[in-house]
Amino acid sequence: MLVGSCAYAISEAAPWTGSLNRQPQAAPKFYAVVGVAMVIGLALNYVGLNAVRMLFWTAVINGVLAPPLILLVVLLTSDPKVMGRWTNPPLLRGLGWVTFAVMVAAAAGMFVTS
C-alpha cells in the first residue's frame, strides 16, 4: 500500500503518467518508483528497523508540520492578490482558522504530555 501511494505521489508531483492500471512499458518511471520503494522497504526491514515505530514517528512529524502548512493555505486562499476573485468565502476562512487552532492545540498537547 505504501509503495503504491509513494509511486502515485511522486508521479503526480512530476509530470509523469503512471497508474497500476497501465502496463509497465506504458509507465516506466512510475514502475521504477514502485521498484525502488519496494527495495528500500525491504532493506529497512532487514536492517532491523521497526516499521510500526517508523509509521508512528512519521505521523508525529506530519502532525507537527500540519499547522504551519494549514496556516499558509488559509493565508494564501484568503489573499485576493494571490487568488483573485476566487478567495475563500468567510465561512471557509473561519473553518480554516478553526482547523489551524485545533491542530496547534493538538501538537502543543502532544509536546506537553510527552
- Does pLDDT of 16 surpass 90? no
- Split at pLDDT 50, 70, 90, the class of 114 is confident
The whole-angstrom separation of Cα 97 and Cα 58 is: 24
- Does pLDDT of 18 surpass 90? no
The whole-angstrom separation of Cα 99 and Cα 71 is: 9
Residues 61 and 48 sit within 8 Å (Cβ to Cβ): no
Residues 60 and 110 sit within 8 Å (Cβ to Cβ): yes
Give me 44's grid cell: 529497512
The whole-angstrom separation of Cα 24 and Cα 8 is: 14
pLDDT at 108: 97
What is the percent of the chain with per-residue pLDDT over 90, rounded to a whole number? 84
What is the percent of the chain with per-residue pLDDT over 70, rounded to a whole number? 100
Please give the mean pLDDT across all residues of the chain: 94
Residue 16 falls in which region: left (phi positive, over 0), alpha (psi -120 to 50) or beta = beta
Q: Tens digits of per-residue pLDDT, 65-110? A: 999 999 999 999 999 999 999 999 999 999 999 999 999 999 999 9
Global pTM value: 0.72
